[in-house]
Amino acid sequence: MRVDGVPYRTIWPAEDGRRVRVIDQRALPHAFRIAELASLADAAEAIADMWVRGAPLIGATAAYGVALAMVEDPSDAGLARAEDRLRRTRPTAVNLRWALEAMRAALAPLRPERRAAAAFARAAAIADEDVAINRAIGAAGLPLIAAIAARKRDAPVNVLTHCNAGWLATVDWGTATAPIYRAAEAGIAVHVWVDETRPRNQGAALTAWELGRHGVPQTLIVDNAGGHLMQRGAVDMVIVGTDRTTARGDVANKIGTYLKALAARDCGVPFYVALPSPTIDWSLQDGLRDVPIEERDPAEVTDVLGRAPDGRVGPVRVCPDATPAANPAFDVTPARLVTALITERGVCPASAEGLAGLFPERLRA
């Protein structure tokens, strides 16, 4: 999407085709920095130290990391070393493993001297595939926004979102944001309520940044405020992303999503989840029972990262020292609270039947 008018992706090859550039997301929202990845080590560091984050973007970065490794050492040993190195950066990232397998499948059959060029081509294809999926999610979600816009006439459509399922988490477009950006491009007046999304404030830091830089009207709110806004009719729809969706449509997403789904149900506001189909875990049914919830560092709760008036970026403690804190990173929204899923193949009910209708090849014999 655009940053102050200039189109960007989150990752792209440099002019010489042998290096890669990424937006260094550690600096956001306080600075916009481009980082250059010139080696396997750079790519591994970019993933491990979260210069890049978001499952699809991690996958694309891993793919380019293999490509950079093939410039350095295109041998079978070099390929194995690259895979091993990159896999260890974020051990639980599904897209990362998938991207590494795709790269191996493309490169292993080739002679070493052909691998570097093929790797860059395959990595570019992986990035393009992510863009295509997200653009398709946007196309599927656009009519949902357009229908509300038609009902509201000239008033803006108010969309509430949680966390960052935006273009910064993908190669472009984002998942939850794709319908919003598509609507904005289609000339529909859209306004986004951005949940700050404690503890890591991805809404305040990333979603607010990307919407603001692209020029989409928005208002930042604390996570506590969404229910009140829905009660008052100030929210027309909710669109969130998901880290993992079960085969029956239960949705694991950033902590706090469940509370917004409850408020949406109570207030008659439609609650949509946008997702690329690779995030559907067809092996799971009951999200509450089956999805493990990551428990993260309590310091993310006791300390808040931000920029002081003197410009320094760092943490401040918001509670007494030595206060015990718990930090579950995700929650599960039961399918019964989800109005519909927005996928790259279209919109479907959050149910086994709904998903099977869009993805019939997944039906068991």
User: Which structure tokens are listed for 108?
Assistant: 């292993």
Q: Is 172 a catalytic residue?
A: no
Binding residues among 269-298 for a copy of itself as defined by CB under 8 A: 288, 293
In terms of CB distance, is 97 or 296 closer to a copy of itself?
A: 296
174 binds a copy of itself (CB under 8 A): no
Question: Residue type for 22, please?
Answer: V
Asked if 227 interacts with a copy of itself (CB under 8 A), we say yes
Q: Are 160 and 96 in contact (CB under 8 A)?
A: no
Select from 60, 145, 184, 208 the one that contacts a copy of itself (CB under 8 A). Answer: 208
Q: Residue 161: name the closest of 82, 96, 256 by CA.
A: 256
* 80: contact with a copy of itself by CB under 8 A: no
Regarding beta strands 330-333 and 2-3, do their DSSP bridges make them parallel or antiparallel, or are they unpaired? unpaired
Size of the site for a copy of itself (CB under 8 A): 65
Tell me whether residue 213 or residue 244 sits nearer to a copy of itself (CB atom).
Answer: 213
Site string for a copy of itself, 186-205 (x = CB under 8 A): -------x--xxxx-x--xx
Pattern of binders to a copy of itself over 14-33, x per CB under 8 A?
---------------xx---
- Residue 121: in which H helix or E strand, if any? helix 112-152
What burial letters (b/e) apply to 186-212, b meaning 16+ CB within 10 Å?
A: eebebbbbbbbbbbbbbbbbbbbbbbb
Please report how many Cα atoms fall inside a 13 Å half-sphere around the Cα of residue 282, on the Cβ side: 11
- Which of these is catalytic: 172, 243, 281, 331? 243
Contact mark string toward a copy of itself, 308..347, x via CB under 8 A = xx---xxxxxxxx-xxxxxxx-xxx---------------
Q: With binding defined as CB under 8 A, does residue 236 bind a copy of itself?
A: no
Supply the minimum distance, in Å, between the C-beta of residue 28 and a copy of itself. Answer: 8
Cα 272 from chain centroid?
15
Nearer to a copy of itself, 122 or 198 (CB): 198
Residues 91-110 that bind a copy of itself (CB under 8 A): none
- Residue whose CB is less far from a copy of itself, 127 or 238: 238
Task: Say how many C-beta atoms besides its own lie within 10 A of residue 277's C-beta.
Answer: 17
Tokens in use for 4?
A: 């102050």
**129 forms part of the interface with a copy of itself (CB under 8 A):** no
**Furthest C-alpha separation in the chain:** 64
By C-alpha distance, which of 235, 138, 146, 242 is closest to 192? Answer: 235
Q: Residue 154: how many CB atoms within 10 A of its CB?
A: 6
φ/ψ of residue 110, rounded to 5: -90, 155
* Residues noted as catalytic: 243
The residues of the shown chain that bind a copy of itself, judged by CB under 8 A, are 29-30, 193, 196-199, 201, 204-205, 208-209, 212-213, 218-229, 231, 254-256, 258-260, 262-263, 266, 288, 293, 301-309, 313-320, 322-328, 330-332
